Structures are given as structure tokens and as C-alpha cells.
Structure 1
Amino acid sequence: MTLLDITAGPFTFVARLEEDLAPVTCARFRSLLPYEDSLIHVRWSGEGCWIPMGDTPFDLPWENPTRHPAPGQFIFYPGGYSETEILLAYGAVAFASKLGQLAGIHFLTIIEGLEQLPELGRSTLWNGAQRIAFKVRA
């Protein structure tokens, strides 16, 4: 089991890569680590934050797809109908874009620090983008 340390704004989390459910996606994400970017509030999806990754598509199979990630679940959208992105649910989410509903690959789940998610979401909504960093737990 691979664990990641995540820092988002002033908050810290521990997350588990869902390697049994999404092995190709997890391997691809691991190849990006350590990874740092900006986390912004979602536009259409509800209580979530996302990391826009531009128009570069990732060639990934549709493993472990969902449109409704639970709080603490990260989904990876590899591009296509909308831009490539990673989304983190902190509350109720119905993953969507300006073109309508989408599905993403659930590949990462927070296992420590869930109680901080609502505050991270509110902070991102009202105060703007937060830095987020992922690294393999030592």
C-alpha cells in the first residue's frame, strides 16, 4: 500500500493510492511525484476543489470510474470532453463540466485529516487558490 503526504494550504493529509482499483492511473500519478500545483474551487461540481492540468490528455483506461466521489476521494479526469484535471471532494459532488456530467477515475483516498476538508474547501472558495503538494510518505 502506497501512502502519500499531502499539504494543501495550511492543512496536511495522508492518503492511500487505490492501486488495486486503479493500477494504471496510480502508476501514472506516481510518475509525476513529487507533484505541486494550485488547488482551486470547482465551478459546476458542488463541494470540491480541483487542479486544472490543461489540455494535455493522459492515455488512461476507465478504471474505477465515478461521477460522485465521496469526501476525501480524489478523481483523475484524463481529458477529452473537458480539460485534464484532478478533483478532490470535500462534500457532496456531482462531477461535471460546462458540457454536462463527467466521470473521473477514483485513484486516491484521504485516510488521515478528513476533519480538515470542510475548512480547506471554505478557504479555497472564499480566499482563492491554495498550493497543494503530493509526495510519497517516507
Structure 2
Amino acid sequence: MQKAPATCRSFLARLPFLERVIHVRWSGQGVWMPLGDMKFDVPFENATSYPSPGEIILYPGGVSETEILLAYGRVNFASMAGQLAGNHFLTITEGHDRLALVGQKVLWEGAQTIAFEQA
């Protein structure tokens, strides 16, 4: 929360957050939630183009549509408009050994439901 406070507050206000993830098109080993023109009203903070496996980033819109991306492997965050940077606001700290299985499932079986809830 310290490095992306506005993004964390905005996302927490939307919990529970239920979406579907699809495999990224241009970015590498990640899954994403295309959110169209959904407004999070946050600045760029703690932004990266290279999230590590387990890191979740929010692109608040601008050059491309609003989206959330979960890296399960190597990612160079981009869209058809080119390189992007998203706000790293959440990190999966356990189960990294299963992240690639999630990515492969989405790649080969299509969109999957994902839910974020406050514990």
C-alpha cells in the first residue's frame, strides 16, 4: 500500500472484484482483465513495464484501455499502441509454483473467472 496508495484505495473500494482473465496478446507470460473505460481515477504510481511473476499491475487508461495484468512469467507490458507501464499494487506471495499452470489454463482453455476479496 505504501508504494501505490491511491491505486490500493481505489481497488479496495471495489471489493469484491469479480472478472474474467484472458491471456495477454503482446506482453508475454501474463493474463489480463480488459476493463474498457472503467475509471479508477488514480495517477501513475509505482509503475512498471516489467512485472515479476505474481505481481499484479493496473493500467489506469490513457494510450490503451484500462486493464489489470497478472504476470505468471516474463512480461514486457505492452499494447498494440506500444510499451505501457502499470501501477504495481498487489503481489501474490504464495503458490508461485502454480502460476504457470494458471497461465497455461487460460491460454489453452480460454477466459477464466478470477475473484478478489478482502480477507
Q: TM-score range by the shorter chain?
A: over 0.9
Identity %: 58
State whether structure 2 residue 7 is matched by structure 1 residue 21: no
Return 50-59 or 73-82, whichever deviates more.
Answer: 50-59
Aligned-pair CA distance for 1:128: 0.3
Residue equivalent to 1:12: none
Residue 59 of structure 1 and its aligned partner are, at CA, apart by: 1.9
Deviations 1:24-69 (A, max 9, x none): 1000000000010101000000000001111234321111010000
Map of 2:56 onto structure 1: 74
TM value normalised by structure 2:
0.97
Cross-structure match for 1:30: 12
AA at the equivalent of 2:22: I
Partners of 2:69 and 2:2 lie apart in 1 by: 20
Larger strand fraction of residues: 1
What's the secondary structure of 2:117's corresponding residue?
strand
Matches within 5 A, 1:42-121: 42-121=24-103
- TM-score, with structure 1 as normaliser: 0.84
Helix, strand or coil: the match of 1:120?
helix
* Contact 1:57–1:80 (CA under 8 A) maintained in structure 2: no
In structure 2, the gaps of 5 or more residues are: none
